Amino acid sequence: MADRFDPPLLVDDEFGAREICCAMDAIEFLEEWPQQRRCKLHRAASEACCAAYDGRTPVEDARAAFESWARMAHIAVTQQLEAVRKGEIFEIC
Protein backbone atom coordinates (compact mmCIF):
# COMPACT_ATOMS: atom_id res chain seq x y z
CA MET A 1 0.00 0.00 0.00
CA ALA A 2 1.50 3.32 -1.05
CA ASP A 3 0.19 5.24 1.95
CA ARG A 4 1.91 3.08 4.62
CA PHE A 5 3.91 4.77 7.39
CA ASP A 6 7.43 3.41 7.64
CA PRO A 7 7.90 2.88 10.46
CA PRO A 8 4.42 2.98 12.00
CA LEU A 9 3.76 5.35 14.89
CA LEU A 10 2.33 4.55 18.29
CA VAL A 11 0.05 7.09 19.91
CA ASP A 12 -1.23 6.91 23.47
CA ASP A 13 -4.25 8.94 24.48
CA GLU A 14 -6.89 8.54 27.19
CA PHE A 15 -8.32 5.53 25.34
CA GLY A 16 -5.03 3.62 25.27
CA ALA A 17 -2.21 3.06 22.84
CA ARG A 18 -2.83 2.54 19.13
CA GLU A 19 -0.61 1.80 16.18
CA ILE A 20 -0.92 4.21 13.26
CA CYS A 21 0.25 2.30 10.17
CA CYS A 22 -0.95 4.41 7.27
CA ALA A 23 -2.50 7.68 6.18
CA MET A 24 -6.04 6.34 6.65
CA ASP A 25 -5.29 5.29 10.25
CA ALA A 26 -4.02 8.82 10.89
CA ILE A 27 -7.06 10.40 9.21
CA GLU A 28 -9.43 8.32 11.34
CA PHE A 29 -7.51 9.13 14.53
CA LEU A 30 -7.52 12.85 13.71
CA GLU A 31 -11.26 12.78 12.93
CA GLU A 32 -11.93 11.16 16.33
CA TRP A 33 -9.98 13.89 18.15
CA PRO A 34 -12.33 16.17 20.15
CA GLN A 35 -13.33 19.29 18.24
CA GLN A 36 -12.53 21.60 21.15
CA ARG A 37 -8.94 20.27 21.31
CA ARG A 38 -8.15 20.81 17.63
CA CYS A 39 -5.70 23.47 16.45
CA LYS A 40 -3.97 24.66 13.29
CA LEU A 41 -1.40 21.86 13.53
CA HIS A 42 -4.24 19.31 13.74
CA ARG A 43 -5.71 20.76 10.56
CA ALA A 44 -2.32 20.69 8.81
CA ALA A 45 -1.78 17.06 9.81
CA SER A 46 -5.25 16.13 8.60
CA GLU A 47 -4.72 17.87 5.26
CA ALA A 48 -1.30 16.24 4.81
CA CYS A 49 -2.69 12.78 5.55
CA CYS A 50 -5.61 13.27 3.15
CA ALA A 51 -3.22 14.45 0.45
CA ALA A 52 -1.00 11.40 0.97
CA TYR A 53 -4.01 9.08 0.90
CA ASP A 54 -5.10 10.65 -2.39
CA GLY A 55 -1.57 10.40 -3.79
CA ARG A 56 -1.07 14.18 -3.99
CA THR A 57 1.86 14.31 -1.57
CA PRO A 58 4.51 11.87 -0.29
CA VAL A 59 3.43 9.66 2.59
CA GLU A 60 6.60 10.68 4.44
CA ASP A 61 5.28 14.25 4.62
CA ALA A 62 1.99 13.02 6.07
CA ARG A 63 3.78 10.88 8.64
CA ALA A 64 5.96 13.82 9.68
CA ALA A 65 2.94 16.13 9.98
CA PHE A 66 1.00 13.58 12.04
CA GLU A 67 3.99 12.95 14.31
CA SER A 68 4.50 16.71 14.85
CA TRP A 69 0.84 17.14 15.79
CA ALA A 70 0.89 14.10 18.10
CA ARG A 71 3.96 15.41 19.93
CA MET A 72 2.36 18.83 20.31
CA ALA A 73 -0.84 17.18 21.59
CA HIS A 74 1.23 15.41 24.29
CA ILE A 75 0.19 11.94 23.29
CA ALA A 76 3.08 9.54 23.54
CA VAL A 77 4.46 8.83 20.10
CA THR A 78 7.01 6.07 19.82
CA GLN A 79 8.41 3.92 17.06
CA GLN A 80 8.99 0.98 19.42
CA LEU A 81 6.64 -1.81 18.41
CA GLU A 82 7.61 -4.23 21.19
CA ALA A 83 4.47 -3.31 23.13
CA VAL A 84 2.37 -4.43 20.16
CA ARG A 85 4.07 -7.79 20.15
CA LYS A 86 3.39 -8.17 23.88
CA GLY A 87 -0.30 -7.50 23.31
CA GLU A 88 -0.28 -4.27 25.31
CA ILE A 89 -1.50 -2.16 22.40
CA PHE A 90 -4.70 -2.19 20.39
CA GLU A 91 -3.48 -2.80 16.85
CA ILE A 92 -5.59 -1.13 14.15
CA CYS A 93 -3.64 -2.29 11.09
pLDDT per residue as tens digits for the range 38-55: 999 999 999 999 999 999
16: left (phi over 0), alpha (psi -120 to 50) or beta: left
Cα radius of gyration (the chain): 12
Cβ neighbourhood burial of 75 (10 Å; 0-12, 13-18, 19+):
middle
Q: What is the DSSP letter of 14?
A: T
pTM of the model: 0.81
Strands of the sheet containing 4-13, edge to edge, are: 16-22, 4-13, 76-78
Domain ranges of the chain: 4-85
Average pLDDT over residues 6-18: 87
